[in-house]
Amino acid sequence: MDQTFRKCVARPPRTLWQLENGELSVLSLAAARPLDTASRPCTGTSRSCQPRQLGRPHDRQHHRARPPKCGRRKKGDGDEALGRSQGGFGTKIHLKCDGHGRPLAFLLTAGHRNEMLMFEALLDAGQIKRRSRGRPRLRPTYVLADRAYSGDKAHRLCRKRGIRLVVPPKRDHRRPRSYDRGLYRRRNVIERLVGRLKRSRRIATRFEKRACHYAAMVTIACIMEWL
C-alpha cells in the first residue's frame, strides 16, 4: 500500500506523545486538571480566582443541570385557558352576539373560572350596527343572559352604562328581581349560535395546546357565521 495513506489526520495529544517516549508518567486527574478552584494555586490574576455570580454565560457547569425554558413561563403563571370544572377539563368561551345570532365578541378562560370575571370586558367589546345610518354603537338597548349573571354586580354594571339586563334570578335569592319573560325567550338565539359553532370539531373539542391558537380557530368559526 502507498505510504501516503498511512499519515495521521491529526497529531496525537501532547501528553500521550510524551508518555510514548517515556518522558513522564501519567498524572492523576486532580493534579492534571483540578476539579475546583480550591485545589489549584491562586495567583490573583487568573479568571478562576475572581468571584463568580450565578447565571453568567461562562458558567457552563451547574449543580442541577436542566434544559432551557426557551421562553416558556413558569408553571402557574398562565393556565392557557384550561381548567377543570364539573363538565370536565376544558375551556370556557364567553360569547356575545346580536339579535340575529351573529357573534360580536368572545373571551376565553379556564373551565373553572366564574362568568362574572369577564362580564365587564365582554360588555364593552363588540359593536352593534344601527338600524338607521350612523356609526355602530357599543351599548345595546338590553342584554339577555342566564342565571350566572343575575348578581348585583352585573345589574350595577349595566345600569351604569344605561343597558337593561334581562336575566332570571337564582332560586336561592332572598330578594328576586322581576324580569320580562317574553323578552327572555329570545335568549335561544345565542344558544343556537353555540350549537352552530360546535359543529366544528376543533371548537367542540379543543386540540390546540396554546390559548392563542384556539382563539384563532374560534375567530375563524365566527367569521364563517358572518359570511
Per residue in 155-189, pLDDT tens? 999 999 899 999 998 887 778 888 888 899 999 99
Is 179 inside any structural domain? Answer: yes
Confidence of residue 7 (pLDDT cuts 50, 70, 90): low
Give the pLDDT of residue 11.
57
- Tell me the residue range of the domain where 119 lies: 83-226
Give the pLDDT of residue 211.
92
**In CATH, what number is assigned to the domain containing residue 129?**
3.30.420
Give the pLDDT of residue 108.
93
Is 14 inside any structural domain? Answer: no
Mean pLDDT of 52-74: 49
Asked whether residue 52 carries a pLDDT value surpassing 60, the answer given is no
Mean pLDDT of 69-90: 67
Is 147 inside any structural domain? Answer: yes
Is 32 inside any structural domain? Answer: no
Mean pLDDT of 202-218: 92
pLDDT, the chain, mean: 75
For residues 17 and 223, the model is more confident at 223
How many domains are there within the chain?
1
Is 58 inside any structural domain? Answer: no
Give the pLDDT of residue 15.
52
Is 22 inside any structural domain? Answer: no
Is 75 inside any structural domain? Answer: no
Q: Which residues contact 216 (CB under 8 A, 6 or more apart)?
A: none
User: What pTM value is reported for the model?
Assistant: 0.60
Give the pLDDT of residue 189.
93
Strand partners of residue 95: 106
Is 17 inside any structural domain? Answer: no
